[in-house]
Amino acid sequence: MNFRNTSTLLIIFVICMAILSHGGVEATRVLSEDFGNANSLQTDSPIYVKAKDIMAYWLQRLPSGPSPSGEGH
User: 3-state SS string over the chain?
Assistant: CCHHHHHHHHHHHHHHHHHHCCCCCCCCCCCCCCCCCCCCCCCCCHHHHHHHHHHHHHHHHCCCCCCCCCCCC
Q: Is the pLDDT of residue 50 over 80?
A: yes
- Give the chain's mean pLDDT: 77
Q: Are 31 and 37 in contact (CB under 8 A)?
A: no
| Confidence label for 49 from pLDDT (cuts 50, 70 and 90) | confident
- Return the closest-CA partner of residue 47 out of 55, 38, 58: 55
